[in-house]
Amino acid sequence: MLKGKTAVVTGGTRGIGFAVVKKYLENGANVVLTGSRQETVDKALEQLKEYKDRVMGICPDLASPTEIEAAFAKVTDAFGSLDILVNNAGISARESIYDYSPDDFTKILDLNLKSVFICSQAAAKIMKKQGGGVIINTSSMVSLYGQAAGCGYPATKFAVNGLTKSLARELGRDQIRVNAVAPGVTKTDMVAALPTEMVERISSTIPLGRVGEPDEIADAFLYLASDMASYVTGAILSVDGAAMT
């Protein structure tokens, strides 16, 4: 479904991001994954040895325009294009508003929102020259419902939804589609860090009766990146088993 395409997946070393990387590779794409540290990048690449000719790993500061511009130049030098950008990197939070420090709030804004803007801007410039492309952002079901603590996380995901819809309108004339996937409770390290009773409570309300698998979320990213979604832009695709918090 993605043969001949080149994708960049931020936060691609584990969880949903790694599942997306693998799904794209299985479907013929060249993939560049990013991680926060070279150690995690190398560990991810070790698990993808069978695709060694079509996969690269880098660890730029996603909130640095200069580093991202240089990183994306490496991508186009290596594979000739940048057709798909998946803005997946992010961190969560559970602090009460009474204990939430401004520094922690700024940290989550920088990775969950500022980096999406910076990476999208850099990719859009390349995609415009190429004649089009696809940007897919990782949102969350809490972008629709909020959550009872850690307000910085849902706040950034609400903002990602707004950025997605706005960029879809702005970049459509350049044949750049922009969408988001809003996963529900999924078996990732981020969910593993949540209190067990919270995961159980949320899971018990899911009509499908279970939490999602990373591979199921990756299927949505595959669809939105492919020509099957050629007339889909500005969408926030919920993949959450109809869950509500």
Q: Report residue 121's pLDDT band, with 50, 70 and 90 as the boundaries.
A: very high
- Report pLDDT for 198: 77
- C-alpha span between 161 and 167 (Å, rounded): 10
6-238: what fold? Rossmann fold (3.40.50)
For residues 138-152, give the mean pLDDT: 89
The pTM for the full model equals: 0.93
- Report pLDDT for 163: 98
- C-alpha span between 144 and 160 (Å, rounded): 11
Q: What b-and-e string marks burial along 64-73, b requiring 16 or more CB atoms within 10 Å of the CB?
A: eeebbeebbe
Report how far apart, in Å, the C-alpha atoms of 135 and of each of 3, 79, 117, 168 are.
17, 18, 11, 9
- C-alpha span between 180 and 202 (Å, rounded): 22
Angle at which helices 214-225 and 15-26 cross, to 10°: 50
- Report pLDDT for 190: 67
- Of these residues, 24, 51, 98, 153, which one is catalytic? 153
- C-alpha span between 145 and 138 (Å, rounded): 16
For residues 113-128, give the mean pLDDT: 98
Higher model confidence: residue 189 or residue 97?
Answer: 97
**Spans of all domains in the chain:** 6-238
Q: Which residues contact 68 (CB under 8 A, 6 or more apart)?
A: 60, 61, 62, 118, 119, 122
Tens digit of pLDDT for each residue in 162-215? 999 999 999 999 999 999 999 988 888 767 777 888 778 777 889 998 889 999
Whether 125 has a pLDDT exceeding 60, the answer reads yes
In the residue annotation, 153 being an active-site residue is answered as yes
Q: Report residue 46's pLDDT band, with 50, 70 and 90 as the boundaries.
A: very high
- Report pLDDT for 223: 98
Whether 244 has a pLDDT exceeding 80, the answer reads no
Q: Is 11 left (phi over 0), alpha (psi -120 to 50) or beta?
A: left
- Report pLDDT for 245: 54
Whether 1 has a pLDDT exceeding 70, the answer reads yes
